[in-house]
Structure 1
Amino acid sequence: MEKIPVLAVVGPTASGKTSLAIEIAKEYHGEVVSADSMQLYKEMQIATAKPTVDEMQGIPHHLLDFLAPDVSFSVAQYAALAHQTISEITARGHLPVMAGGTGLYVDAVLDDLIFAKIETDEQKRAELWAFVEAHGANALHERLREIDPESAARIHENNVGRIVRAVEVYELTGITMSEHQRNSRPKESRYRSLKIGINYKDRAVLYDRVNRRVDLMMEQGLLEEAVSVRNRARKTAVQAIGYKELEPYFLQQEPLDVCIERLKQETRRYAKRQITWFSRDPNILWVYPDEQTPQEIFSKIKRAVENFIKV
Structure 2
Amino acid sequence: MPKVLVVCGATASGKTSLAIACAKKLNTQIISADSLLVYRGLNIGTAKPTDDEKDGVVHHLIDVVDPTKEFSVSDYEKVALPIVERLLAEGKTPIICGGTGFYINSLLYKSQFGNVGANEEIRAHYENVLKENGKEYLHRILKEKDPESAKILHPNDTKRIIRALEIFDVTGKRKSEQKDEPIPRFEFVCVSIDYPREELYNRINLRVENMFQNGLKEEVFGLMKNGVQECSQCMQGIGYKEVIEGIKNGQSDNEIKEIIKKNTRNYAKRQITFFKRMRNHYSLAPTNATADEVLRLL
TM-score (norm 2): 0.81
Comparing 86-95 and 214-223, the one that deviates more: 86-95
Map residues 132-211 of structure 1 onto 2, 5 A cutoff: 150-151=148-149, 154=152, 161-162=156-157, 179-180=174-175, 183=178, 188-200=183-195, 202-211=196-205
* Unaligned residue ranges in structure 1 (runs of 5+): 132-139, 306-311
The answer for the alignment partner of 1:233 in structure 2 is 228
SS at match of 1:194: strand
Q: Give the letter for the 1:82 counterpart.
A: A
The answer for the alignment partner of 1:257 in structure 2 is 254
SS at match of 1:121: helix
SS at match of 2:236: coil
Rate the CA distance shift 1:251–1:9 in 2: closer, same or farther, 3 A. Answer: same
- 1:84 pairs, out of 82, 85, 99, with 82
The answer for the alignment partner of 1:124 in structure 2 is 130
The answer for the alignment partner of 1:269 in structure 2 is 266
Comparing 255-264 and 13-22, the one that deviates more: 255-264
- 2:293 pairs, out of 280, 287, 300, with 300
Rate the CA distance shift 1:32–1:179 in 2: closer, same or farther, 3 A. Answer: farther
Deviation at 1:130, TM superposition (A): 7.9
Deviation at 1:7, TM superposition (A): 0.9
Rate the CA distance shift 1:150–1:213 in 2: closer, same or farther, 3 A. Answer: farther
The answer for the alignment partner of 1:6 in structure 2 is 4
The percent of aligned pairs where both chains have the same amino acid is: 33
Deviation at 1:211, TM superposition (A): 0.8
- Measure the CA separation in 1 of the matches of 2:33 and 2:293: 23
The answer for the alignment partner of 1:278 in structure 2 is 275
- Measure the CA separation in 2 of the matches of 1:186 and 1:303: 27
Deviation at 1:267, TM superposition (A): 0.8
Rate the CA distance shift 1:247–1:146 in 2: closer, same or farther, 3 A. Answer: farther
The answer for the alignment partner of 1:36 in structure 2 is 34
Deviation at 1:103, TM superposition (A): 0.8
Q: Give the letter for the 1:244 counterpart.
A: K
CA contact (8 A) 1:82 1:109 kept: yes
Deviations 1:17-62 (A, max 9, x none): 1110000111111210001111111111112222110000101111
TM-score (norm 1): 0.78
Deviations 1:162-193 (A, max 9, x none): 4x777777777767xx9436659897434111
Deviations 1:224-270 (A, max 9, x none): 11112234222123321111101133225322221111011111111
SS at match of 2:283: strand
* Unaligned residue ranges in structure 2 (runs of 5+): none
Q: Give the letter for the 2:221 counterpart.
A: V
Comparing 54-63 and 93-102, the one that deviates more: 93-102
The answer for the alignment partner of 1:218 in structure 2 is 212
- Measure the CA separation in 1 of the matches of 2:65 and 2:179: 26
Deviations 1:144-179 (A, max 9, x none): 877765456556xxx6624x777777777767xx94
Which structure's relative contact order is higher, taking Cα pairs within 8 Å and 6+ residues apart?
A: 2
- Measure the CA separation in 2 of the matches of 1:210 and 1:160: 28
Q: Give the letter for the 2:243 counterpart.
A: L
Comparing 17-26 and 215-224, the one that deviates more: 215-224
- Measure the CA separation in 2 of the matches of 1:206 and 1:187: 31
CA contact (8 A) 1:43 1:69 kept: yes
- Measure the CA separation in 1 of the matches of 2:146 and 2:224: 30
Rate the CA distance shift 1:121–1:46 in 2: closer, same or farther, 3 A. Answer: same
Aligned CA-pair RMSD: 3.2
